Chain A
Amino acid sequence: MKALGTLISKIREINSRYRAPRIQMSPAVRVSLMALRVYLFALVGLMVYKFVVLVTGS
């Protein structure tokens, strides 16, 4: 239980340390990250769909 608490506090510390991106968010960076989000959402969506199809067998 203590180990779990230590882990959670460590994760919180990491989250606060890296809260703000250091790289300057120029238009090129913003577009790249947005495109990456779209790509990942599409692919993860497909994976979830495939998983559902596999589980339900339909």
Chain B
Amino acid sequence: MNFFSKLYYVFRKAWKAVRLYLVLAGPGIVVMVADNDAGGITTYAATGAKYGYHLIWFLLILIPVAYYVQEMTVRLGAVTKRGLAEAIFDGFGAFWGWFSLLDLMIVDWLTLITEFIGMTAALAIFGVPPWLTVVAVIALMGVIVLNGRYWTFEKLALLFCALNLVYIPGAFLVHPSVQDVVHQGLIPNLAGGFNGQLFFFLMANIGTTIAPWMLFFQQSAVVDKGMLEKDIPWGRFDTLLGSIVTVVVAVFIVIVTGTVLPGIDIDSASQAAAELMKTDRYVGAFLAIGLFDAGLLGAICISLASSWAFGEIFGWAHSLNTKIRQAPWFYATYFLMLVSSGLVVLIPHAPLVLITLFVQVIAVTLLPAALVFLILLLNDRAAVGEYCNTAAQNFVGGCIVVLIVILSTLYGITVMFPNLIH
């Protein structure tokens, strides 16, 4: 009897913890899964098709890197109750503030275009015309944010996050060899030796796992959700879970294309979906649905990251808990970003490839800057008190920044001068 009462007590305690997590879950898992956006799906699909399972180990390394970087935004947001844009203005003055804000706006707008490219291409596979996709997406995203509650937005976003898991059954449908996945994927190796192309793929995978908008989004979401210092442990757990889920989904995408499309050069995820349709209709459909979902989730988060940042700096009401009348500029920025980027995709012969290229290069300039500001702000004891970075955290954070600065500089150079590294 004593055993059963103890078991019941443990169960009740665990259930209480799960319920508490479900209340506090959101910013971490949403931002991490949204990171698997249209560009991310394309990168993972291309990686699997090019290198098979050989780079899975590299993706797994990105779990702690992504967690480490995003965890800092949880602490900073929960303690200071301000978004990263406002924190940079306040901490480093107007020059660095405007630099970060304008860079964020440009990179977000260009990334939004790539999300629309992904969504229109995904639904084109099912015969939906691009204009209809753009109109439907803008309407759907309007419904999601205009209800005047952060909670509703977050739970709907979590639903789209769950849809992102569609790649897992997709991978089982193609019957990969588990032995090959374990042997080739989990033992670190550089397929075919280190060369310019492999370097490009490694950097593209880093670039899709850690993006500048993610830092701004998660910190603003933590503030809008009203998380407090006591919620930081749950925020950390949420971020860790999100970083695991995002990499697991990436691994399953690599498994799908690595199994079905080995050795094929993939330029876009929609091309991969169309190729997969030829071999397995359902897997192709899964990839297309996943691509649309990824683009949608990415678009919601990216446009919100910009709207929150502008609201913080210009002093406009900037919460999803406000109605459109209370925060007209916040919602105007949100829709302006969405509509203008959606329209670009509909322009005949728009330089979409060039835009995709620019997204990568401009994101490269903002990421190290945003990371440096984040670490310096987390060392400002006057602002964050006991939640200040420890020496170990600074060492790990510093190493990540230095590594990203070196690699992203090389990546920027290879994107701009592709013939430089062979």
Contact = CB atoms under 8 A, between A and B. Distances in A.
Interface of A: 10, 14-15, 18-24, 28-29, 32-33, 35-36, 39-40, 42-44, 46-47, 50
B369 A19 contact: no
A57 B36 CA distance: 36
Given A15-B94, A24-B382, A32-B372, 18 more contacts: A14-B313, A18-B93, A19-B93, A20-B93, A21-B92, A21-B96, A24-B380, A29-B376, A33-B92, A33-B96, A36-B369, A36-B372, A39-B409, A40-B365, A42-B409, A43-B364, A43-B365, A46-B412
Interface string B351-373: 00000000001001100110010
A42 B97 CA distance: 20
A21 B405 contact: no
Nearest to B366: A40
30 contacts: A10-B314, A14-B97, A18-B90, A19-B93, A21-B91, A21-B93, A21-B96, A23-B91, A23-B376, A23-B377, A23-B380, A24-B380, A28-B379, A32-B372, A32-B376, A33-B92, A33-B96, A35-B372, A36-B369, A36-B372, A39-B368, A39-B405, A40-B365, A42-B409, A43-B409, A44-B365, A46-B412, A47-B361, A47-B416, A50-B416
Given A23-B380, A46-B412, A36 B368 contact: yes
Nearest to A21: B93
Contacts of B4: none
B412 A43 contact: yes
CB-CB nearest 4 A-B residue pairs = A21-B93, A18-B94, A23-B91, A50-B416
Interface in B180-222: none
Contacts of A23: 91-92, 376-377, 380
A38 B3 CA distance: 65
Contacts of B413: 46
Contacts of B417: 50
Q: Give the most central of A19, A24, A36: most B CB within 10 Å.
A: A36
A54 to B, nearest CB: 9
Interface of B: 89-94, 96-97, 313-314, 361, 364-365, 368-369, 372, 376-377, 379-380, 382-383, 405, 409, 412-413, 416-417
A40 B361 CA distance: 12
A2 B207 CA distance: 42
Interface of chain B: mostly helix, strand, loop or mixed: helix
* Majority DSSP secondary structure for residues of A touching B: helix
A20 to B, nearest CB: 6
A13 B61 CA distance: 45
Contacts of B412: 43, 46
A40 B369 contact: yes
Contacts of B365: 40, 43-44
A20 B93 CA distance: 5
Contact of A22 (B90, B361, B379, B416): B90
B416 A46 contact: yes
A36 B100 CA distance: 12
B7 to A, nearest CB: 52
Given A20-B93, A23-B380, A39-B405, A14 B314 contact: yes
A33 B89 CA distance: 14
A41 to B, nearest CB: 11
Contacts of A32: 372, 376
A28 B394 CA distance: 12
A47 B416 CA distance: 8
Contacts of A21: 91-93, 96
Contacts of A40: 365, 369
